[in-house]
Chains A and B, each alone.
Chain A
Amino acid sequence: MSGRLRLAGQVAAVAVVAALLGLLAWKLTQDESRVTSELQRGGTPTAPPFALERLDGKGKLELESLRGKAVVLNFWASWCGPCKDETPLLQEGWKRWQGKDVAFVGVDVKDFRGDAREFLERYGVTYTNVYDGKGSTVGRYGVTGFPETYFVDAAGNVRYRIAGPVEDAAELDAGIERALAPA
């Protein structure tokens, strides 16, 4: 009886250790700041895919549907002060780059949908914006604050990142040119 009890205890201990190792492996593969850390090491990580609800009510947008274009991916929220300063610059940039194989996508994060729509209307934003109230993209991209902008190339790889607001048109254009440059 005691031998059987001991065996059961050993099996349970091994199972617990295996479960913890599995959890560790899962956590490592889900590394939250992979994109940012790879960029900092000079790499061009694959932009984590997403399918998010469009704020204009036209269904969902899948990032992968924009393959073949450079994508300016801007993470923002209506309650974020610097986002208000940056948005007119992005809207002007969108007008400048429209029709040149460049897409602008705003990702509204941890926000009220209504506030986000009001914000877009107030600032006259016409580029595509999607809603990520739960912030599911934040960890996968390694977003450290708002706003933050990622420049994705036509193959779906992140080439450049601006943490904080885009300061001027030259900085925005430089990011886009990096995303358009051949690999």
Chain B
Amino acid sequence: MRAAAVALIALLLAGPAGASEERPTAAELESELVCPVCDTTLDTSNAPVALRMKAFIRARIAAGDTKSEIKAALVDQFGPAVLAEPPKKGFELLAWVLPLAGLVLGAAAVGALAWRWSRGRGEDEPPDDSGEPLDPVLERRLDDELARFDP
């Protein structure tokens, strides 16, 4: 029963993704591609090259190309920088891995500090009296001074 539910959810999720790959819309592609001269996504740009790219996308959709094919054609012309999201391979993979690595390292550092801090506070260590004894004259003077504050 549980397996069937999981399979149903997977199918429901895979359905739209597959449809989007096979029959992409201009709007979704324009939000996933970047105008090479203005560095914003195509859907927010009216630069001449962005308008030309939008026309190219519409023509390729009409010709029946998949989303991957259209993106690959644009990468071939303009390079990978035209993708709003860097590809998850090669050097561009760093753009995905580094923030996650930073997050994990930061969490580990905070965890380690918190652990040390709680450990230090939890231990009722006796006061350190291993230092050198006070000079007797100085000690007597200190006692006298403190005695002045006694009620």
> With A133-B77, A133-B78, A134-B81 known to touch, is A110 a contact of B112 (CB < 8 Å)?
no
Chain A residues with CB below 8 A from B37, complex form: 110
In the complex, the chain A residue whose C-beta lies closest to that of B105 is A12
Cβ of B88 within 8 Å of any chain A Cβ, yes or no, is no
Q: Which residue of B lies closest to A77 (CB)?
A: B49
A113 / chain B contacts, CB cutoff of 8 Å: 77
Task: Mark contacts of A104-143 with chain B using CB atoms, 8 A cut-off: 1 yes-contact digit, 0 otherwise.
Answer: 0000001111010000000000000000011110000000
- Given the interface pairs A2-B116, A110-B37, A135-B36, the reply to whether A79 lies near B49 with Cβ below 8 Å is yes
| A-B contacts, 30 listed (Cβ < 8 Å) | A2-B116, A5-B112, A9-B109, A77-B49, A79-B48, A79-B49, A79-B51, A79-B52, A80-B48, A81-B48, A110-B37, A110-B78, A111-B49, A111-B77, A112-B52, A112-B56, A112-B77, A113-B77, A115-B52, A133-B76, A133-B77, A133-B78, A133-B79, A134-B78, A134-B79, A134-B81, A135-B36, A135-B78, A135-B79, A136-B79
Q: Which residues of A contact B (CB under 8 A)?
A: 2, 5, 9, 77, 79-81, 110-113, 115, 133-136
> B residues engaging A (CB < 8 A)?
36-37, 48-49, 51-52, 56, 76-79, 81, 109, 112, 116
